[in-house]
Amino acid sequence: MFKGSYVALVTPFKDDQVDEETLRRLVEFQIENGTSGIVPCGTTGESATLTHEEHKRVVEIVIDQVAKRVPVIAGAGSNNTAEAIELTKHAKKAGADAALHITPYYNKPTQEGIYLHFQALAKECGLPIVVYNIQGRTGVNITPQTMARLAEIPEVVAVKEASGNLNQMAEMINLCGDKVDFLSGDDALTLPLLSIGGSGVISVVNNLVPKMLAELVDAWFAGDLAGAREKANHLFPLSQAMFIETNPIPIKTAMALTGLIPNAEMRLPMCPMQPANLEKLKAVLQRYGLLE
């Protein structure tokens, strides 16, 4: 169902308010440069510090601006199942193509609790679900066996896999077969995941260089393996630089430095980059010709 290069879109702010004009412009920038789909209100979109009203408004703005040209996978995850259901119902009403759901965090559910959480979302909402597995942020890993159970739920159509564990990804793919699509949640592992059966990526660095990501994935699916490998290797240092500090600090800073957004405004506890890391980021951007 979902294939290609998707962007985990940043949420631009201006004076501590969502900058709607810039948000709409970012959507256009992505579509013009070949991005396969837009994912608002994920981690990179600072969903954790958006109010519910802001969260819903960002989803609505993105869906309106996209105007059905590419799929929109709206972030709707929560560690509270009832809250996740509410956000998913809103995404469905707004016209989203699917909802991205992180595993419940902090409360550290069991594997059975994870399964029941997604089962409830499917039953109550009836919207396609992209499961987001990222133990480094949530403290909980979805095991391959649990993912195989989730794949039997018709509404579960894809996985954003950011465990960093290729062995686990391979086991999941083997257990799930073609019942769900596997999207990389780690830019550096996009090509490795494609090589074992993945269908694409939900990318952070795509905010900055969407054309590069689109060309990488397109090359792979066109059978140009050497070209895909060359593009992945070229992109690797830039992808790594986006995690010099906690995401989305580096990507927002890079976008502000290169003029894609007016400023790198974030909400606490996200804060401006430390001076030494800022210089490292600038050096990488200069290497790619993105900054003079």
Cα–Cα distance measured from residue 38 to residue 250, given in angstroms and rounded to the nearest whole number: 20
**Vertex 201, ends 288 and 126: CA angle to 5°?**
145
Catalytic positions, please? 132, 160
Cα–Cα distance measured from residue 151 to residue 99, given in angstroms and rounded to the nearest whole number: 15
H runs (alpha helix) in the chain: 20-32, 52-66, 81-94, 111-125, 135-138, 144-150, 166-176, 190-195, 210-221, 225-241, 249-257, 275-287
Q: Could you tell me which residues come within 8 angstroms of residue 275 by beta carbon, excluding any fewer than 6 positions away?
A: none
Cα–Cα distance measured from residue 291 to residue 282, given in angstroms and rounded to the nearest whole number: 7
Cα–Cα distance measured from residue 61 to residue 183, given in angstroms and rounded to the nearest whole number: 24
Q: How many CB atoms lie within 10 A of CB 193?
A: 22
Beta bridge partners, 38, equal 7, 72
Tokens of 98: 């699917």
Tokens of 197: 């059966």
Cα–Cα distance measured from residue 34 to residue 52, given in angstroms and rounded to the nearest whole number: 30
Which residue's structure tokens are 């490998």? Answer: 229
